[in-house]
Structure 1
Amino acid sequence: MKKIKLLATAITLSLSTAVFAQSLEIGAGIPMGNDKFTSVDKKEVSLNSAKTANGLLVMFSCNTCPYVIKSQERTKETIDYAKKMDIGMVIVNSNAAQRDGADSHEAMSRYAKKQGYSVPYIGDDQAKLADAFGAMRTPEVFLFDATGKLVYKGAMEDSPADPAASKQMFLKNAINNMLAGAAPDPSTTKSIGCTIKRL
């Protein structure tokens, strides 16, 4: 009986992992586009409403991941570049398991102010958005074109552990290709960072 229970637990865990591992496919539409999420400035935000004339950039992030902290200057550059290129941007915190601590709404608000975020920073309280995207790590980005189709996903650059050493700016190149009417190459890269802390 004990072996059966252990097997059932293992199967459940493997199924859960499999669901989380199903990353959004290139060409897919914006998941949960009309669902409303609350940003740190108490505004209701949907991904579809955040999309602008040239597309939408969704970044999964948090307050405390060392990779996020190391990449903050790159994040600020990305926010500025997205605005310059008329691409809407939303930063998502899906660390539901830490919502009462380091990733509480209050902590998110303080963090956003400290970093000078000028785009919505929203809480994904049950990690439903992360599940819909198949997002696994922070930071991890998903770029959608003007029609709402996914054209790039993965890392911002090739050396997130040491951004100063990066030689390939995957996300910026993807944005430039997309706006030039070309498919980003690569369209998918491996996201490197902290795992999203789901419940």
Structure 2
Amino acid sequence: MKALKIVLSVLVFGLVSAFTFNRVVTSGYEVGDKATDFKLKNIDDKMVSLSDYKDVKGYIVIFTCNHCPFAIAYEDRIIALDKKYKKLGYPVIAINPNNPEVQEKDSFELMKVRAKEKGFTFPYLFDEGQKIYPQYGATKTPHVYVLKKTKEGNIVKYIGAIDDNHTDETAVKVKYVENAVDALLKNKEVSVKMTKAIGCSIKA
């Protein structure tokens, strides 16, 4: 009887673990999903929503932060993305998903400092309470979601990395985000819809 209880306990634990694992892996948006809007505080202390952008064609939503070396390595490329595509209707919307109680370098006040130091040309929003990044399913910084604005809502068209080389910009061979946005601007299908985001884990 005792052995049977142990076996049953292991089976139950295994089922619960499997369910939890699957739930975590499959949580968040997939390509083709409609992304809900949000209202988050920008570094200028104003609240920002996607709906504030009336005349855009879509958005390049990037979960990033201050401290992560991967995020830092991509800062200039994120600025370049915004400068190139904002005028074409796809502005960058950056969101810091990290909990500053876990990583103090990602506090709201230090976000302001970093944005000023780097001359960010885009909103840098604070996911206070960490409510938005789980909806998207972001796991890394940086983690990108390209959204197309449609009558049905903001549809996810690409998820993943910015490009294929986080260590050396000069060695980049495939610019995933640029390719995705370029395709959307031509009303074409995005060829590579999902890649693995490379970066620091989000600090919850």
Give me the TM-score of the superposition, normalised by structure 1: 0.86
2:23 to 6, 18, 21: 18
Relative to structure 1, is the Cα distance of residues 50 and 197 closer, same or farther in structure 2, using a 3 angstrom cutoff? farther
Report the counterpart of residue 165 of structure 2 in structure 1: 159
Q: Distance in 2 between matches of 1:155 and 1:107?
A: 25
Q: Distance in 1 between matches of 2:127 and 2:57?
A: 25
Q: CA deviation at 1:12?
A: 7.5
Does residue 120 of the first structure (1) align with residue 123 of the second (2)? yes
Aligned alpha-carbon RMSD (Å): 2.4
Q: Which moved more, 1:58-67 or 1:94-103?
A: 94-103
Is the contact between residue 51 and residue 87 of structure 1 (CA under 8 Å) also seen in structure 2? Answer: no
Match of 1:62, SS? coil
Does residue 60 of the first structure (1) align with residue 59 of the second (2)? no
Q: Percent identity?
A: 30
Runs of 5+ in structure 1 lacking a partner? none
Q: CA deviation at 1:100?
A: 6.7
CA shift digits 1:3-53 (9 cap, x unpaired): 98xx97xx579737833652411111122x0x3211110011112324642
Is the contact between residue 138 and residue 192 of structure 1 (CA under 8 Å) also seen in structure 2? Answer: yes
Is the contact between residue 98 and residue 197 of structure 1 (CA under 8 Å) also seen in structure 2? Answer: no
* Count of aligned positions: 191
1:102 to 80, 88, 105: 105
Report the counterpart of residue 185 of structure 2 in structure 1: 179
Q: CA deviation at 1:123?
A: 0.5
Does residue 30 of the first structure (1) align with residue 35 of the second (2)? yes
Q: Distance in 1 between matches of 2:46 and 2:18?
A: 35
Give me the TM-score of the superposition, normalised by structure 2: 0.84
Runs of 5+ in structure 2 lacking a partner? 1-5
Relative to structure 1, is the Cα distance of residues 93 and 16 closer, same or farther in structure 2, using a 3 angstrom cutoff? farther
Q: Which moved more, 1:12-21 or 1:110-119?
A: 12-21
Relative to structure 1, is the Cα distance of residues 163 and 44 closer, same or farther in structure 2, using a 3 angstrom cutoff? same
Relative to structure 1, is the Cα distance of residues 161 and 99 closer, same or farther in structure 2, using a 3 angstrom cutoff? same
1:87 to 90, 94, 119: 90
